Amino acid sequence: KFIKRDELDNRATLLIKWTFSTFVWTYWATLFGYAIFYCFGVKTLTPYHCLLSYAPLLTMEFRESRNTYYGPLGFISMRFLFDAPLITTGMILREVVGLRLFTPFASILDEDIVQGSMPFPSDVKTLVEKYNVKSVINMCGEYPGPKNHYKKYGVEQLWLPRVDTTVPYVSQLREGAKFIQRRKAEEPNARIFVHCKGGIARASCM
């Protein structure tokens, strides 16, 4: 469900992304579960540990609504068993293999706004040169963004962190709107890139 076809994808690249994502997610959850149980004296690794990969999906499924924020266990499930493997997979595929896990990367809405998925270090140059981006609103609580590369290319970022699959606070949306107004006054000919992980929910709210 998370893997969508990019315009440059073929069967081989889709297979690579699917295989790598499955491998990283399953093994990540298995080793995470093993580490926790090891702390409680259970030192045997069993096939049951891999069932922990379903924890974030169940966390999302049994939540009352998107307006309900996660408790401590839900937050841990989402941050360590959902965000961490997906970001790791996305980073390696993009920076090492040259493929993009989260697509589409960027969609031009108008002369002011570009909306998309999380950018990795190699994407910053593309944002600046192809999309004329000078400002970024990052809605990812799980990813601070490629700050060093933003600094290198003169891009200013506003980080408004929210947990994935939850709605932003109204105060964050207001802060984001003020940031857009300020940056458009400072850089009237440039665009603002608004993103979350997949560029679907939190970015759309903003």
**Contact criterion met (CB below 8 Å) for 156 and 185:** no
Nearest CA-CA partner of 187 in 138, 162, 153: 153
**Contact criterion met (CB below 8 Å) for 56 and 26:** no
196 catalytic per annotation: yes
Three-class DSSP category at 155: coil
Task: Give the neighbor-by-neighbor strand order of the sheet with 106-108.
Answer: 106-108, 113-116, 191-195, 133-140, 156-162
Helix (H) or strand (E) holding 162: strand 156-162
- Exactly one of 39, 140, 196, 205 is catalytic; name it: 196
Nearest CA-CA partner of 117 in 96, 151, 89: 89
Active-site positions read: 196
